[in-house]
Amino acid sequence: MTSMLLRCFAFFRFTLSLCALLYLAPAYASDVDAELEQALDNYVQLGQSDEKAANAMLVKLWQNNETNSAVKSWARLASYMASNNFDAEHPEKKQAFLQLMLKKAETTENSDALAEIYGTEIHALLFERKINDAIIKADKLQFYLERASDPRIRYFYNNLLGYLFRQDSQYSRALEHYIEALDAVAETDNEATVRRRTVLNVAIAHVHAELKNWPQAKEQAKITLDDAIKYGFKSFAIDMYILQGYIAGYQKQFDDAVQINKLGAAYAEEQGDELAVLTFENNLASSYIELGRFDVAKAIFLQALERAERLKDEYSVELIKFNLAYIQVVQGEHQAGLAQMKAGMKYFSEKDSKAQFEPNYEWLAKAYAAAGMYKEQAETLLEQMALQEEIRANERETRLNELQNRYDTKAKVQQITILEQENGLKAQLLENQQLQQKLTMLFVLLMLFAAISLFQLYRKVRQSNRKLYETNKQLAFQSQRDPLTGLYNRRALQQHMQLRALKRREQDEKVHLTGLLLLDIDFFKRINDHYGHAAGDAVLIEIAQRLQAVCREQDIVVRWGGEEVLVLLDKIVPGQVDGFISRIMHAIADTPVTYEQHHIAVSASGGFIHLPFAGISEDKLDWEKVMQIVDMALYLSKAHGRNQVCLINDLKVPFEQAEALLYTDLTGAIRDGMLDVKTISGPGGPVS
């Protein structure tokens, strides 16, 4: 039964505490205490067998190293101390360690240490389920992760960001961070390497399942299950059995679901995990119900009921009784079965969220149909529809509130910055006023020097005003430009798009097509790692200059973030797009970037789309939604070879049919033939 399968899916046990066991790694930076690093490795290993002894060891390490000057090792130790207090009775201890770490961040430029510090802060927010606060701080952590050298840090905190964006339904960003974490794991070869890779494979399998990419989810789950069994990762193996059963059930492949749940139950039985066995029994019996084999399902449910009562699992007991009652109705015991199902509905309405409770209506309606009570069936389905609409409305309101909270927080940060600037200007004006007062006093006391004093005052005021004018010009320029490349920044783009929207309304939507080309420099991290971050900055500056040279005067080139650049092509003619993008790809890749006698080969991958897209009104599909699509197009270019641009040209189906996939699963939309897609490769074709 679908409702029960969804509940059982919650059994997957991906937790941050599990990931914390994977901290083992060698030291890399100069700000490292090798003896302390070895002691921390020993602490992690001890924690897997004797948690109490490990905690005592950690406290002693802190007492001996509280003032250790090796900032990277100190940050790792402080992170463990903070994490150990996430669920403590006295939360002020956790907060004290976090404040201590943030204060340390003000005194160091070590990227590994800063990633550890800001990553621990986000870890704490996730533990408290403060998703919005964590999302707002994610960019800072990502900035230092891109510059970190330690694979342990890049693995753990990219994994953490993947988990964060997965909770926020930003699956594209989640996958990017999981891939970064996999790259970091590939750089290690120690006792934690295999377990880390399995953790990430589990996470990626779940992302595909949540996106309903069933072929990818099924393949990833099988690979991960084989590895988990091979290396003895029992909990991961159980999770993957459950995931495989869930996928088969969702695809209506109930015979496959039966076989998978039987294998999972046998494996869980071998491991002595009775809760897992109970889950497999519930799922197995539910699959038999879908196959119409009610006697077999009933026998398994009765066995599961006995287990649930022995384990004192009240929720599972009520769920099994609900399922048994459905079988009673189907087998002709209408009155008794419906009475038990109604009792179950009352229980679940009190215990579950509305979203969890809603699918139960479907089975009650089926039971009424089996009993020939079609009026009651119709009433039940109407109640379900009303609840579904209420859930959708609540989800929309919750999402809007989350976005508003994020906006308010960022607005407050910007307001503080503006106030600081205003205070600086007021201080300058106050200094001018004080100077004027002094000169006035001199005028009264020294009449003979009045002309000279006034002349001096005039010059100083004029210089001050000139300085104030220059300061305002610099502030205005800096607010619109990226300081490294001189390209426009996101704020400038936002203002441009607001003006564009105003123009569109004034002209009654009769505006020319605008092209959005999002580019990402290939293997940029490899450039940083091999030649240094100064070389990476030189590459960004050179690419920015090449793009400005090849673009037209009316086009806008924006630094979108990190190594990403957005080119806004104003009044673009569709027939000229291919040639224009080809020129851009050649401008980037034809000539290597020269830095300190090094010739650095550079290429880029990208995604392209028109605005408005496919003739759809921008009131329905505005530029920010289109950017979500072009971001996924960029990801497809990366995933299929790099040094190429994926062009999303047009829709082949009505927008309403493709809308859901456009925002979440571009690959699925392309596979289903919904989009007109084209790829333009750079010089030499795709690179690996």
Percent of the chain clearing pLDDT 70 (strictly above):
84
Domain annotation covers residue 548 = yes
Residues 471 and 504 in one domain: no
Residues 541 and 621 in one domain: yes
Residues 146 and 82 in one domain: yes
Whether the upstream peptide bond of residue 612 has omega within 30° of 0, thus cis, is yes
Cβ-proximal residues to 288 (8 Å cutoff; 6+ apart), any chain: 258, 294, 296, 297, 300
Domain annotation covers residue 523 = yes
What is the rounded distance in angstroms from the CA atom of residue 581 to the CA atom of residue 601? 19
pLDDT in tens, 647-676: 999 999 998 888 888 888 888 888 888 999
Domain annotation covers residue 268 = no
Cβ-proximal residues to 511 (8 Å cutoff; 6+ apart), any chain: 500, 503, 504
The full 3-state SS of 564-579, as one line of letters, equals: EEEEEECCCCHHHHHH
Q: Does residue 407 carry a pLDDT above 70?
A: no
Residue 1 — very low, low, confident or very high, per pLDDT cuts 50/70/90?
Answer: very low
| Window from 96-100, 143-147, 474-478, 558-562 with minimum mean pLDDT | 474-478
Domain annotation covers residue 254 = no
Average confidence (pLDDT) over 447-474: 61
Of the ranges 345-354, 490-499, 603-612, 663-672, the best mean pLDDT one: 603-612
What is the rounded distance in angstroms from the CA atom of residue 152 to the CA atom of residue 118? 15
For residue 608, the domain's CATH number is: 3.30.70.270
Average confidence (pLDDT) over 626-652: 90
Residue ranges making up the domain that contains 435: 405-480
Inter-residue contact 188 to 210 (CB < 8 Å): no
The domain boundary, picked from 429, 445, 480, lies at 480
The domain boundary, picked from 424, 452, 480, lies at 480
Higher-confidence position of 166 and 407:
166
What is the rounded distance in angstroms from the CA atom of residue 305 to the CA atom of residue 289? 16
Looking at residue 425, its pLDDT comes to 61
Residue 597 — very low, low, confident or very high, per pLDDT cuts 50/70/90?
Answer: confident
Residues 667 and 565 in one domain: yes
Looking at residue 16, its pLDDT comes to 36
Inter-residue contact 271 to 293 (CB < 8 Å): no
> What does pLDDT average to over the chain?
83
Residues 474 and 617 in one domain: no
Looking at residue 408, its pLDDT comes to 53
pLDDT in tens, 8-48: 333 333 333 333 334 443 434 468 999 999 999 899 888 88
Cβ-proximal residues to 455 (8 Å cutoff; 6+ apart), any chain: none
Inter-residue contact 261 to 284 (CB < 8 Å): yes
Q: Does residue 164 carry a pLDDT above 60?
A: yes
For residue 40, the domain's CATH number is: 1.25.40
pLDDT in tens, 299-353: 999 999 999 999 999 999 999 999 999 999 999 999 999 999 999 999 988 888 8
Residues 36 and 167 in one domain: yes
What is the rounded distance in angstroms from the CA atom of residue 143 to the CA atom of residue 115? 8
Give the count of domains, the chain: 3
Residues 654 and 524 in one domain: yes
Looking at residue 128, its pLDDT comes to 86
What are the structure tokens assigned to 484, written together? Answer: 């490294």
Looking at residue 266, its pLDDT comes to 93
Looking at residue 24, its pLDDT comes to 41
Average confidence (pLDDT) over 575-600: 91
Average confidence (pLDDT) over 227-249: 90
Residue 474 — very low, low, confident or very high, per pLDDT cuts 50/70/90?
Answer: low
Domain annotation covers residue 79 = yes
Domain annotation covers residue 295 = no
Looking at residue 454, its pLDDT comes to 61
What is the rounded distance in angstroms from the CA atom of residue 319 to the CA atom of residue 341? 10
The domain boundary, picked from 454, 480, 506, lies at 480
Q: Does residue 255 carry a pLDDT above 80?
A: yes
CB burial readout 534-568, b (16+ within 10 A) else e? ebbebbbbbbbebbeebbeeebbbbbbeebbbbbb
Residues 445 and 523 in one domain: no
Domain annotation covers residue 361 = no
Cβ-proximal residues to 575 (8 Å cutoff; 6+ apart), any chain: none
Percent of the chain clearing pLDDT 90 (strictly above):
41
Residues 570 and 610 in one domain: yes
Looking at residue 465, its pLDDT comes to 63
Q: Does residue 570 carry a pLDDT above 80?
A: yes
Alpha-carbon distance values, 399 to 164, 212, 270, 385, 402 (Å): 16, 21, 43, 21, 5
What is the rounded distance in angstroms from the CA atom of residue 237 to the CA atom of residue 135? 31
Domain annotation covers residue 605 = yes
Residue 490 — very low, low, confident or very high, per pLDDT cuts 50/70/90?
Answer: confident
Residues 422 and 565 in one domain: no
| Window from 264-273, 528-537, 613-622 with minimum mean pLDDT | 613-622
Looking at residue 643, its pLDDT comes to 92
- Look up the pTM and report it: 0.53
Looking at residue 477, its pLDDT comes to 55
561 pairs with which residues across the strands? 564
What are the structure tokens assigned to 204, written together? Answer: 């990626």
564 closest CA partner among 609, 516, 626, 600: 516
Residues 449 and 501 in one domain: no
Q: Does residue 225 carry a pLDDT above 70?
A: yes
Residues 73 and 170 in one domain: yes
Return left, alpha or beta for 482; rule: phi > 0 is left, psi -120 to 50 is alpha, else beta: beta
